[in-house]
Amino acid sequence: MPDHWFGYSIAKISIYYGQAEMLQDFADRDRSGILNLTAAGLMELPPEIGDLTWLSALLLGENQLTELPPEIGDLTNLHRLGLGRNQLTELPPEIGNLTNLYRLVLGENQLTGLPPEIGDLTNLKELHLNDNRLTELPPEVGNLTNLDWLGLYGNQLTALPPEIGDLTNLKELHLNDNQLTELPPEIGNLINLDWLGLYANQLTALPPEIGDLTNLTGLYLDNNRLTALPPEIGNLTNLIGMELYGNQLTALPPEIGDLTNLRSLVLGSNQLTELPPEIGNLTNLYRLELKGNQLAELPAEIGNLVNLAFLNLDDNQLTELPAEIWNLTNLVDWNRHARVFSELVRR
């Protein structure tokens, strides 16, 4: 078992696909502050890891770690800690000592919970918790008020704590592929959100407070169980993309027409029987996906969407189209569309 790192004494030490079992002697090496042991075959960390108190970055992703020693909490100068793609089932409470961390990567592990001490990491800007087995978040997560990126996709969350609303600096919140049935009204406090991913959950409704997220440019709600949208959705006037594929929507509120910056609107595989005339206000739309609904007709205002390049009306119940559909001359594959329009346009 080696007592040194292959004689390396360099500014940044990176060991890939090798054996890395001990840290003895390393503390006396050139102290660049970065230790990269990505994919090094590590099955455990020795307590001596706590001796490397000068480290600013510790990268341990793609190993086979099942636990962290309490001494990890001695690395109080760490700014970055990468532990993605391991087999961690829990975190020691000492993780809360790492109060200088601004980036913590824990994605693709087997975490079933987070210790309350996670809330002590108040300087965190990025927290990656994707693809674990989390069923809930501790309320202390609300203490992480400097977070601007939070990734929780691919877990088993059924609810969010009200304290999620305290993360008012968040710009991106990734919650897709969970089991959420509702959102707390406090979600509306996240007024700096730019991107909200909620697809592949079990949401049946959105709280009115969703309309307070006026800085959103992307809202992704595919594959939920939504039957309606609140009128407050019309407040999201900075939206560029909104996806609602695979829900149970039967109608759209007139306020949909207030989203005049929308470029992409995906409404496929719902139960829409009609579109409100206000749809014609969305003159910046580039893509409109309506496949797999129950539309029997389209409003004449559809002809106002002269910037449309992609329009999918397949698998509906359309027997005729308004003459204004001919205004959509920027559609890709115009000849194919023109043949369909010729058959269905009202005469």
* Maximal C-alpha separation, the chain: 87
Q: What does the alpha-carbon distance between residue 199 and residue 178 come to, in Å, rounded to a whole number?
A: 9
Give the containing element (helix H, strand E) for 127: strand 126-128
**DSSP H or E stretch at residue 57:** strand 57-59
**Which among 285, 256, 286 has a CA at the least distance from the CA of 270?**
256
Segment 142-159, tens digit of pLDDT = 999 999 999 999 999 999
**Which phi and psi (to 5°) does residue 96 adopt?**
-70, -10
Reported as a single tens digit per residue, the pLDDT across 106-139 is 999 999 999 999 999 999 999 999 999 999 999 9
Q: How far apart are CA 277 and CA 270, in angstroms?
A: 18
Residue 115, phi then psi, degrees to nearest 5 = -70, 150
Q: What is the DSSP letter of 321?
A: B
Q: Is-contact 65 82, C-beta < 8 A?
A: no
Q: What is the pLDDT of residue 294?
A: 98
| Cα–Cα distance for residue pair 135/116, rounded to 1 Å | 15
- Distance from C-alpha of 82 to C-alpha of 210, rounded to nearest angstrom: 33
| Mean pLDDT for the stretch of residues 201-212 | 99
Please give the helix or strand (H or E) that residue 128 lies within, else none: strand 126-128
DSSP 8-state code for residue 11: S
Six-digit token pair at 274? 């009609």
pLDDT (0 to 100) of residue 333: 81
Q: Which residue has the tokens 């539309």?
A: 295
Show the tokens assigned to 66: 């099942």
Q: What is the DSSP string of 58-107?
A: EE--SS------GGGGG-TT-SEEE--SS------GGGGG-TT-SEEE--
Q: What is the mean pLDDT of the chain?
A: 92
pLDDT tens digits, one per residue of 211-263: 999 999 999 999 999 999 999 999 999 999 999 999 999 999 999 999 999 99
Report pLDDT for 23.
Answer: 54
Residue with tokens 């790192």: 5
Which tokens is 248 given? 């149970």
Which of 131, 46, 153, 45 minimizes the C-alpha distance to 85? Answer: 131
Provide the whole-model pTM: 0.91
Sole residue written with tokens 């000592």: 97
Is the separation of the CB atoms in 76 and 52 below 8 Å? no
Structure-model confidence comparison of residues 18 and 91, the more confident one: 91
DSSP 334: H
Q: Please tell me whether residue 287 adopts helix, strand or coil conformation.
A: strand
Instruction: Please give the domain boundaries of the chain with CATH numbers for all domains.
Output: 13-262 (3.80.10.10)
Per residue in 224-233, pLDDT tens?
A: 999 999 999 9
